[in-house]
Amino acid sequence: MAKTTKTRESFDKELFKRSVLYNIKTLYRRTLEEATPQQIYQAASLAIKDQIIDQWMDTQKAMEEQDPKIVYYMSMEFLMGRAFGNNLINLRAYEGVGEVMDELGVDLNLIEDQEPDPALGNGGLGRLAACFLDSLASLNYVAYGCGIRYKYGMFRQEIHDGYQVEKPDDWLVNGNPFELRRQEYAKEIKFGGYVRMYQDENGRTMFKQEDYQAVRAVPYDLPVLGYGNGVVDTLRIWDAEPINNFQLDSFDKGDYQKAVEQENLAKQICEVLYPNDNHIAGKELRLKQQYFFISASVQTAVQKYLKNHDDIKKFYEKNVFQLNDTHPTVAVAELMRVLMDDYYLEWDEAWDVTTKTCCYTNHTIMAEALEKWPQDLFQRLLPRIYQIVEEINRRFNIEIVNRYSNDHNASVDEKLRKMAILYDNQVRMAHLAIVGSHSVNGVAKLHTEILEKRELKDFYEMMPEKFNNKTNGITQRRFLMHANPLLADWCTKKVGDGWITDLTVLKGLKKTAATAKAGKEFMAIKKKNKERLAKYILQHNGIQIDPDSIYDCQVKRLHEYKRQLLNILHVIYLYDKIKSDPKFDMPKETFIFGAKAAAGYRIAKLTIKLINSVADVVNNDPDVNGRIKVVFIEDYRVSNAELIFAAADVSEQISTASREASGTGNMKMMLNGAVTIGTMDGANVEIVGEVGKDNAFIFGMSSDEVIEHERKNDYDPMSIYNSDAVIKKTVDHLIDGTFSKDKELFRPLWNSLLNTKDTSKADTYFILKDFHSYAEAQSKVRKAYEDKAGWAKMAMLQTACCGKFSSDRTIEEYVKDIWHLDKIKI
Ligand code: 26Q
């Protein structure tokens, strides 16, 4: 079989082997035979890092010589996943290292498994940032990811008695062999106090923050390798340290008190990632985290630029800040502050630079995810930044008045109420981001349309030139090459290895897909991956699943809008069918779930319990006779996601239409040959566009229909329940003791569908409305699966048609339309 080129000619196996053995000796005073797998992992990582450092330095040098424009991707989250295997792939040393490990009698998979999953993100938004960095480096662009070095990332999920239990993710216990601490770039970050205004010696009006608390931001750099091109970009994550090693015998009581406070502040800031996805926790500490990493990153970017440029007014010609959602939006005001207070620009000059530098990506229309801060909290914590936001708001309001006061179709007061940045004693971060940026983008075609027509309509009308769409993408280097080596090699055999850097090359598979032989090969690979996942599930969940069953997978954060409840209700419905008709004929099917729920999200956590309770009953009922199985995979994360994507037959993308901005799991499944069952939501719309509607199972209301029901407020789930015996029976199993001795246990879920006290709060995600159309789509899936050749063809077509969904394409669109970066040559 033609092998995907994973080995670079220049990779020196002997040197690598010697380096590993040497590292084991000097680090641990051990021989290979005595070393633990963890020690071998550390030693091998440092040997790899040696090679990376050379390329990293070359990239820096090329940067200084060629002076390209740089993108700073500002994000509270980077869900990188494990670095070891990925670095080997991008160095094209994976196979070489595998061979060395073989020679040493060490299992490479076991070594990879020693690395904790760096989980500095919740889900889609953080993983998108990681895919973007991979593509940026692979496409020869210079990029800095700017983020926070959380001590504890996303919690580890354990399931006890069917319930989610959160355990701290102490990912740094064994140190991180790939990181570099750069204390020479430490920055001071100021919180609180007050702003003193004074005239300087040149008669300029100056503003100085006084009586503040400060912490020291210390950067740690992680290398981000391009694929096979020698480019190494940087993910710079900031840690907080106390500013002064204060003296305990200080005589000045005030100083002592302050020193203790500052030390506590430093300890808190980077302690933990907020585990909320698509939901705001309006906590003061969160705002501190935001300003902390933004101030450090903005100061660094400006200083770096001024090292070899002298006109700060042209900063935007060489730098662009991409704000990953509203979380880093204080960057707008912080850049204004630095330009005016540190470099003496006038307001208009600073505003010109700022708006030409900043760009904003919106990732959600969910109302509960729109970021707002109480004005008084914001002002107390960031007094100088608040002054600047006030002035931005004042000037923007004047613009609104000028624009609309002679417009008979618009009311100025209404425009001010809807668009102001400061309103109702709140700071509206999305409005600040839009006003302070020259580009505002959504993450899928449908999502951007909804932003323009509804969510951000007023802004779109006033400044249409800012709005644009950038449909998300994923990196094939991690999600095919690393996740699914068998399929990667098969693709290379059929169409060559060009797909690694140009995913559209896979369209060459369309011809192949027509042959029965290819179908058999493809399904044989799928089977191997299904066996690999079955083994993982047996080891980690103690459940035996059948690799010949359909693997139907829904893996993503648990959220009501993603409708895991619809999925499990359908399983309950199937279970009923089997119970009432013992001869009910269906192909064996395994329903696989993986999801973390935000720690305080009651309904989401109860849904996990329900899935596990249904699994207990269904998996152990002899009447079911193995026809359906339900599995909840504990601690869903990037590393086990790779196993799941490779093994999936059916990809569940069933959000209420209009709610999922894009989704990216849908693309990862498609790349690995899973067929989508889904709504016309987010990027699903574009997936269907690429693969054709005959090769997807689409159901449910359209986003227009959903939005129309919401506008009219005319949806009545209770009338469906009362008039539809099947739905009634299915839903009532939540409260009739079928899945819990305590009949009241799942009552809150029943209520979420049929809230009798407040009918406007019943089934807000239209589960009952879409139920039958979903069940019908599921029945079509089972039917299609029974036609083996037909299914194989459909599955292959998914892989063949996913070229558009590479993050390489997304990044090239950002570059062409927004960033205008230069490629560097190494
Ligand atoms: C905000 C404030 C306080 C605490 C937490 C948060 C917070 C954290 C994470 C708010 C939102 C998020 C994450 C949002 C997210 O992941 N959105 C997803 O972004 C993906 C990439 O664009 C899309 O594919 C998904 O559709 C979208 O849901």
Asked, for residue 8, whether it belongs to a domain, the answer is: no
Quick check: CB of 75 below 6 Å from ligand 1? no
213-236 residue pLDDT tens: 999 999 999 999 999 999 999 999
pLDDT at position 361: 98
Q: Judge if 245 and 108 occupy the same domain.
A: no
Q: Give residue 763's region: left, alpha or beta (phi > 0; psi -120 to 50).
A: left
Output the CA angle 131-71-136, nearest 5 degrees: 35
In this prediction, residues 511-529 reach a mean pLDDT of 93
> For tokens 């699966």, what's the residue?
785
Known catalytic membership, residue 363: yes
Asked, for residue 290, whether it belongs to a domain, the answer is: yes
Confidence class of residue 1 from pLDDT cuts 50, 70 and 90?
A: very low
Q: Assign 282 to helix, strand or coil.
A: coil
Residue among 661, 280, 268 nearest 447 (CA): 661
Quick check: CB of 125 below 6 Å from ligand 1? yes
Q: Judge if 226 and 132 occupy the same domain.
A: yes
Quick check: CB of 683 below 6 Å from ligand 1? no
Pocket test for ligand 1, best of 76, 289, 325 (most atoms within 8 A of CB): 325
Q: Judge if 57 and 179 occupy the same domain.
A: no
Asked, for residue 310, whether it belongs to a domain, the answer is: yes
Known catalytic membership, residue 741: no
Buried b / exposed e along 411-441 (16+ C-beta atoms within 10 A): ebeebeeebbbbbeebbbbbbbbbbbbbbbb
Pocket test for ligand 1, best of 73, 75, 125, 556 (most atoms within 8 A of CB): 125
C-beta of residue 688 within 8 angstroms of C-beta of residue 696 = yes
Residue 396 has pLDDT above 60, yes or no: yes
- The closest-lying atom of ligand 1 relative to the alpha carbon of residue 279 is 10
Residue among 382, 373, 468 nearest 429 (CA): 373
**At 762, which CATH number?**
3.40.50.2000
Quick check: CB of 363 below 6 Å from ligand 1? yes
Quick check: CB of 281 below 6 Å from ligand 1? yes
Quick check: CB of 598 below 6 Å from ligand 1? no
600-630 residue pLDDT tens: 999 999 999 999 999 999 999 999 999 999 9
* d(CA 501, ligand 1 centre) in Å: 28
* d(CA 752, ligand 1 centre) in Å: 23
Q: Which is catalytic among the residues 300, 357, 471, 664?
A: 664
Q: Which is catalytic among the residues 17, 428, 556, 769?
A: 556
Query: What percent of the chain shows pLDDT beyond 90?
Result: 93
**Residue nearest ligand 1's atom 15 by CA:** 125
DSSP per-residue codes, 165-176: EEE---TTTT--
**Helix 37-66 with 13-28: angle, nearest 10 deg:** 120
* d(CA 129, ligand 1 centre) in Å: 11
**Residue nearest ligand 1's atom 2 by CA:** 280
Pocket test for ligand 1, best of 329, 330, 363, 656 (most atoms within 8 A of CB): 363
Cβ neighbourhood burial of 581 (10 Å; 0-12, 13-18, 19+): exposed
* d(CA 364, ligand 1 centre) in Å: 7
Supply the mean pLDDT for the chain.
Answer: 96
Confidence class of residue 279 from pLDDT cuts 50, 70 and 90?
A: confident
Asked, for residue 6, whether it belongs to a domain, the answer is: no
Asked, for residue 825, whether it belongs to a domain, the answer is: no
- The closest-lying atom of ligand 1 relative to the alpha carbon of residue 682 is 26
The set of residues, in sequence order, having a beta carbon less than 8 Å from that of 753 and lying 6+ positions away, is 565, 717, 721, 731, 762, 763, 767, 768
Cβ neighbourhood burial of 542 (10 Å; 0-12, 13-18, 19+): exposed
Distances (CA, A) of 319 to 143, 304, 617: 10, 10, 58
**Helix 788-800 with 516-541: angle, nearest 10 deg:** 90
561-605 residue pLDDT tens: 999 999 999 999 999 999 999 899 999 999 999 999 999 999 999
User: How far apart are the two ends of the chain, measured CA to CA in Å?
Assistant: 32
Q: Judge if 457 and 506 occupy the same domain.
A: no
pLDDT at position 281: 79
**Residue nearest ligand 1's atom 11 by CA:** 278
Q: Judge if 548 and 558 occupy the same domain.
A: yes
Q: What 8-state DSSP symbol labels residue 225?
A: E
Q: Which is catalytic among the residues 258, 318, 668, 804?
A: 668
Q: Judge if 540 and 667 occupy the same domain.
A: yes
684-706 residue pLDDT tens: 999 999 999 999 999 999 999 99
Cα 461 from Cα 292, distance rounded (Å): 34
Residue 4 has pLDDT above 90, yes or no: no
Residue among 645, 608, 745 nearest 157 (CA): 608
Q: Which is catalytic among the residues 17, 466, 562, 570?
A: 562
Quick check: CB of 740 below 6 Å from ligand 1? no
Q: Judge if 74 and 144 occupy the same domain.
A: yes
Residue 514 has pLDDT above 80, yes or no: no
Quick check: CB of 140 below 6 Å from ligand 1? no
Asked, for residue 3, whether it belongs to a domain, the answer is: no
Element (H, E) at 372: strand 372-374
**Residue nearest ligand 1's atom 8 by CA:** 277
Q: What is the extent of the structural domain holding 95? A: 15-66+88-114
Q: How many structural domains does the chain have?
A: 3
Known catalytic membership, residue 562: yes
The set of residues, in sequence order, having a beta carbon less than 8 Å from that of 530 and lying 6+ positions away, is 547, 551, 647
Quick check: CB of 427 below 6 Å from ligand 1? no
pLDDT at position 282: 79
Q: Are strands 187-191 and 213-225 parallel, antiparallel or unpaired?
A: antiparallel
Residue among 430, 456, 447, 169 nearest 280 (CA): 430
The complex scores an ipTM of 0.98
Q: Judge if 219 and 105 occupy the same domain.
A: no
* d(CA 421, ligand 1 centre) in Å: 21
Q: Where are the alpha helices (DSSP H) in 358-411?
A: 375-381, 383-404
Q: Judge if 689 and 555 occupy the same domain.
A: yes
143-200 residue pLDDT tens: 999 999 999 999 999 999 999 999 999 999 999 999 999 999 999 999 999 999 999 9
pLDDT at position 473: 99
**Residue nearest ligand 1's atom 24 by CA:** 663
Q: Assign 447 to helix, strand or coil.
A: helix
Quick check: CB of 286 below 6 Å from ligand 1? yes
Low-confidence winner among 323-327, 468-472, 755-759 (lowest mean pLDDT)? 755-759
Quick check: CB of 681 below 6 Å from ligand 1? no
* d(CA 369, ligand 1 centre) in Å: 8
* d(CA 662, ligand 1 centre) in Å: 11
Q: What 8-state DSSP symbol labels residue 455?
A: I
Q: Assign 220 to helix, strand or coil.
A: strand
pLDDT at position 512: 83
Show the tokens assigned to 287.
Answer: 């705002």
Q: Judge if 57 and 71 occupy the same domain.
A: no
Distances (CA, A) of 421 to 367, 465, 572, 607, 709: 17, 20, 47, 37, 30
Q: Judge if 99 and 144 occupy the same domain.
A: no
Quick check: CB of 653 below 6 Å from ligand 1? no
CA 596 to chain centre: 13
Asked, for residue 400, whether it belongs to a domain, the answer is: yes
In this prediction, residues 802-809 reach a mean pLDDT of 98
* d(CA 277, ligand 1 centre) in Å: 5
Asked, for residue 2, whether it belongs to a domain, the answer is: no
* d(CA 278, ligand 1 centre) in Å: 4
C-beta of residue 481 within 8 angstroms of C-beta of residue 488 = yes
pLDDT at position 448: 98
C-beta of residue 133 within 8 angstroms of C-beta of residue 126 = no
* Backbone Cα Rg of the chain: 27
Q: Judge if 206 and 73 occupy the same domain.
A: yes
pLDDT at position 666: 98
Known catalytic membership, residue 279: no
In this prediction, residues 29-45 reach a mean pLDDT of 98
Beta-bridge mates of residue 255: none
HEC string of 124-160 equals HHHHHHHHHHHHHHHCCCCEEEEEECCCECCCEEEEE
Quick check: CB of 277 below 6 Å from ligand 1? yes
